[in-house]
């Protein structure tokens, strides 16, 4: 019989592992995987005072949590770092009462989720492919004659943002403003900030809400052939639809941008792999799955226990915050041979079982769109810039957030195509 260890309020844990979990600073910010590997071996479940949660690092433990939304609630899953001061709460009250697809459970979650499952269904996204490809080509047109670019700010970020805003029929001149609102909102929910910065981020989040609420009302009066008009047929009211549309912008474009950036870095640092994709674009989808596993863009998420729960010999009391590390689970040696090797052929013969899009009831609603955007991004770049390469001697840094793992910038270069 497995010995059960109860870990109540005193939060017994290995001081070394607990204190050394520092995901917002280097070396873990840029490469958390050696720490994950050590934690999986030495103490796969440990308490972190930094995030006020027990951290889960092994694949099977993470999967057990994801399969059990009754005992591991998603409520309050977005409040991952600290508590908000009264001044921030006051700003947030100027928006709508907070609801979230990520942050909901049970019937409420199903009610929020079902309308978006319909509009993001894989078979319905086929019609969006031409639009995605057109946006990708237009972005490349803007820098192709320069011979170099920050592919994150000039391509990876604007592509998924323009795609979702096009589906919403948002004017593109609002792009920069909405991008800043999205970045600020993501920081508010997942990064330690000063009170002044929290207030600023909260103000931008509220501004985004009011902009989308106005757009919803316009579509209610004059429906069109767009995602917002289609969602009007659901029973979601304006505040609910506003916040869910905010969430789709923020969660959807940032993680897809990170996926595109991660893909290019991993593929371009091995020119033979990049050339193989240029020669045979049919390899791109399976290569993307390995990117999702190897350096997961959405690294983690919080759950909260609704009762005393036993997990791998550890008893977690009711109300315990649990941080599930998708990034660590996807490198678990018990699931993946040579887990620390990047192998684009890994999922050619085996089922895709990574947890990059979570699992079960909270599997990412926009996963089909994200995969489609990532595939078309690489197809377009490999076709138009086959000699694309990483700029040498650049210092790659990651944005310090808990939920999203992406590069701040990624400099690339190529031979300028000869004019006919």
With 60 as the cut, is the pLDDT of residue 2 above it? no
pLDDT in tens, 291-337: 999 999 999 999 999 999 999 989 999 999 999 999 999 999 999 99
Read off the tokens for 406. Answer: 């992406």
Q: Which domains are present in the chain?
A: 5-385+397-413 (1.10.630.10)
Per-residue pLDDT tens digits for 166-183: 888 888 788 788 878 877
DSSP H helices, 142-295, are 151, 158-168, 175-190, 195-221, 227-231, 238-268, 271-279, 284-294
* pTM (2 d.p.): 0.89
SS3 annotation, 330-373: CCCCCCCCCCCCCCCCCCCCCCCCCCCCCCHHHCCCCHHHHHHH
Of the candidate ranges 66-70, 146-150, 359-363, the one whose mean pLDDT is the lowest: 359-363
Both tokens of 254, joined, read 């940032």
Whether the predicted pLDDT of 52 surpasses 80: yes
Please name which of 417, 384, 414, 373 lies closest in space to residue 133, comparing C-alpha atoms.
Answer: 373
In this prediction, residue 1 carries a pLDDT of 33
pLDDT above 90 covers a percentage of the chain that reads 69
């Amino acid at each position: 019989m497995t010995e059960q260890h109860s870990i109540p309020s005193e939060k017994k844990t290995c001081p070394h592992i607990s204190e050394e979990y520092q995901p917002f600073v280097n070396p873990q910010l840029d490469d958390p995987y050696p720490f994950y590997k050590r934690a999986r071996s030495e103490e796969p479940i440990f308490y972190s005072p930094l995030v006020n949660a027990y951290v889960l690092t092994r694949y099977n433990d993470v999967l057990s949590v994801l399969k059990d939304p009754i005992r591991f609630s998603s409520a309050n899953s977005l409040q991952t770092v600290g508590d908000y001061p009264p001044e921030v709460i006051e700003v947030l009250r100027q928006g709508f009462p907070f609801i979230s697809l990520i942050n909901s459970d049970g019937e409420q979650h199903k009610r929020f989720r079902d309308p978006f499952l319909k509009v993001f269904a894989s078979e319905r996204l086929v019609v969006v492919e031409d639009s995605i490809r057109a946006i990708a080509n237009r972005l490349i047109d803007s820098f192709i004659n320069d011979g170099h670019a920050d592919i994150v700010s000039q391509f990876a970020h604007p592509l998924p943002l323009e795609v979702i805003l096009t589906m919403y029929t948002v004017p593109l001149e609002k792009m920069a403003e909405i991008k800043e609102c999205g970045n600020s909102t993501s920081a508010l929910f997942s990064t330690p900030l000063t009170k002044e910065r929290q207030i600023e981020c909260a103000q931008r989040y509220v501004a985004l809400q009011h902009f989308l609420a106005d757009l919803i009302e316009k579509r209610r009066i004059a429906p069109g052939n767009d995602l917002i008009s289609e969602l009007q047929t659901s029973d979601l009211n304006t505040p609910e639809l506003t916040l869910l549309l905010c969430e789709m912008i923020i969660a959807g474009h940032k993680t897809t941008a990170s996926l595109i950036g991660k893909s290019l870095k991993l593929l371009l640092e091995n020119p033979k792999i990049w050339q193989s994709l240029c020669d045979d674009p049919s390899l791109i989808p399976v290569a993307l799955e390995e990117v999702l596993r190897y350096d997961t863009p959405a690294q983690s998420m919080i759950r909260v226990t609704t009762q005393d729960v036993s997990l791998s010999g550890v008893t977690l009391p009711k109300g315990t915050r649990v941080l599930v590390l998708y990034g660590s689970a996807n490198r678990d040696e018990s699931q993946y041979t040579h887990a620390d090797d990047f192998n684009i052929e890994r999922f050619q013969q085996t089922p895709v079982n990574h947890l990059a899009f979570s699992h079960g009831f909270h599997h990412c609603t926009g996963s089909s769109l994200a995969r489609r955007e990532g595939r078309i991004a690489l197809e377009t770049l490999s076709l138009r810039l086959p000699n694309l390469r990483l700029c040498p001697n650049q210092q790659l840094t990651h944005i310090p957030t808990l939920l999203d793992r992406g590069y701040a910038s990624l400099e690339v270069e190529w031979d300028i195509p000869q004019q006919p």
